[in-house]
Amino acid sequence: MKTDPAAAELLGLNTTELLALFTTLPAPSIEEMNGEYAARLLAQPNAFASVTGHAAVSNPFARWLCKGFRPVDDRTGRGYNTFRQFGRVRRRYAMHTLIAPSRYDGRPAYTLVYRAYGSVCGAINMVDEVRRAAPGVYLGIGTWGFTERQRRIPLPFLLTGPVGPYRGDVGTARRGFTPGPRELPGRRETGP
């Protein structure tokens, strides 16, 4: 399968270069992110992130395939990750999506908040930010952690597509959850 030139460029950059590029890119709209997008890790910032990232997504028992998204309304959406496990595609790690200020530069990013649903990703405060590098090619920066410092470590990934339709909602929503500064620290930096 031929790799898109924009995707190939992202595959050749280190984490510092990916984060610098991310700050120049536009956010896709809620409506644009509709379907499943093939996913893979890009260069990670250190050996620990590389080992843990690859163990989580390149695990031979549950290989990461895609992120799926759908708009709910003009301001929010839903999503999940898919994994191939024992020959079947499984949907896991539901997320709430919205356009929010980036933790890195305060500009809009398509933001995935996992804490809105009960899952391991929500428990570790995972938040992903996504921007469009080219049509059908998206640069994501994931974060997770229990301290503000941990949640600033950029964990880049690549999305391409859509490669298929959204398969349906999964996950149990946390009652009364509203994203706050832990999930959306860029709101603090850009005003009320």
Confidence of residue 75 (pLDDT cuts 50, 70, 90): very high
Residues 6+ apart with CB under 8 A from 65: 38, 39, 82, 83, 84, 89
Q: What is the pLDDT of residues 88-119, one digit of tens each?
A: 999 999 999 999 999 999 999 999 999 999 99
Q: What is the pLDDT of residues 10-51, one digit of tens each?
A: 999 999 999 999 999 999 999 999 999 999 999 998 888 888
Confidence of residue 137 (pLDDT cuts 50, 70, 90): very high
- CA-nearest of 6, 3, 30, 31 to 139 is 6
Q: Read off the pTM.
A: 0.93
Q: What is the pLDDT of residues 156-167, one digit of tens each?
A: 999 999 999 999
Query: What per-residue confidence (pLDDT) applies to 2?
Result: 61
Residue 191 reports pLDDT greater than 60: no
Confidence of residue 192 (pLDDT cuts 50, 70, 90): very low
Q: What is the DSSP string of the chain?
A: -PPPHHHHHHHT--HHHHHHHHTTSPPPPTTT--EEEEEEE---SSHHHHHHHHHHHS-TTSEEEEEEEEESSSSEEEEEEEEEETTEEEEEEEEEEEEEE-TTTSSEEEEEEGGGBSSHHHHTT-EEEEEEEETTEEEEEEE--SSTTGGGS-EEEEEEEEEE------S-BPTT----TTT-THHHHT--
Instruction: Judge whether 101 and 186 are in contact, CB under 8 Å.
Output: yes
Residue 53 reports pLDDT greater than 90: no
| Average pLDDT value over all residues in the chain | 92
Residue 190 reports pLDDT greater than 50: no
The percentage of residues in the chain with a pLDDT greater than 70, rounded to a whole number, is 96
Residues 6+ apart with CB under 8 A from 96: 76, 77, 78, 112, 113, 116, 117, 177, 179
> First-to-last CA distance in the chain?
46
Residue 132 reports pLDDT greater than 80: yes
Query: What per-residue confidence (pLDDT) applies to 108?
Result: 98
Instruction: Judge whether 27 and 108 are in contact, CB under 8 Å.
Output: yes
- CA-nearest of 84, 80, 115 to 94 is 80
Please tell me the CATH code under which domain 5-166+178-189 is placed.
2.40.128.580
> Which one-letter amino acid corresponds to residue 5?
P
Q: What's the average model confidence in pLDDT over 178-186?
A: 91
Domain boundaries, the chain: 5-166+178-189
> Which one-letter amino acid corresponds to residue 152?
R
